[in-house]
Chain A
Amino acid sequence: AQSVTQLGSHVSVSEGALVLLRCNYSSSVPPYLFWYVQYPNQGLQLLLKYTTGATLVKGINGFEAEFKKSETSFHLTKPSAHMSDAAEYFCAVSEGGSNYKLTFGKGTLLTVNP
């Protein structure tokens, strides 16, 4: 069975600082991996995804993530935080196939301080 662990339910950074949100997954087959962002009172929006190929994936708003199979990790980074990045971030995994099911982590709330 697939599962996702997000380390740190709350991360606080200063504006302009590096953002690092951690995600580790468990999957019995090569996974598809996703990062979604959720702003208050809104649905989830896809930031980036890994399916196959290059392990460093670039997404919207300057975010990127690297798939490390040996570490079963898919950490999300952004070199310089902006106030508008404040939101909740969810890592998700899918084992793919014809029964496409996303399993989400519990989320990490990112706070950006001026």
Chain B
Amino acid sequence: EAGVAQSPRYKIIEKRQSVAFWCNPISGHATLYWYQQILGQGPKLLIQFQNNGVVDDSQLPKDRFSAERLKGVDSTLKIQPAKLEDSAVYLCASSLVGLGGDEQFFGPGTRLTVL
């Protein structure tokens, strides 16, 4: 079974530029998550999709971050414009159903450096 795929793996940009990350979840998984992991901290949930609808985006900085999941499969997370504090690893995860106790499967992440 193929895992969660993410691209690119690394990205370096200057502040005020825009950047986009792509995620392809495990086939058949209804729920998709984007996390931000700042160095020295645990992952923090940015947004959760159930199929192509948003379930939770309470911690997404909506003035600069946006995400979409078209057709309930792939997802894109965008930052525009980027700030220095956005430097982090962005992790995508998926789960079969999205209920409590459901295992989340993580991709390798995209490491973003903002200069």
Contacts and interface: CB of A to CB of B under 8 A. Distances in A.
A42 B103 CA distance: 17
B108 A41 contact: yes
Interface size bucket, A side?
Answer: 20 to 34
Main secondary structure of the interface of B (DSSP, over half): loop
B106 A43 contact: yes
A12 interface: no
B101 A104 contact: no
Given A43-B106, A43-B109, A95 B91 contact: no
Interface in A61-96: 90, 92, 94-96
Contacts of B101: 32, 49, 51, 94, 96
DSSP majority for the A interface?
A: loop
B44 interface: yes
B56 A99 contact: yes
A33 to B, nearest CB: 10
A43 B42 contact: no
Interface of A: 4, 9, 32, 36, 41-46, 49, 51, 90, 92, 94-107
Interface of B: 4, 31, 33, 40-45, 48, 55-56, 91, 93, 95, 98-109
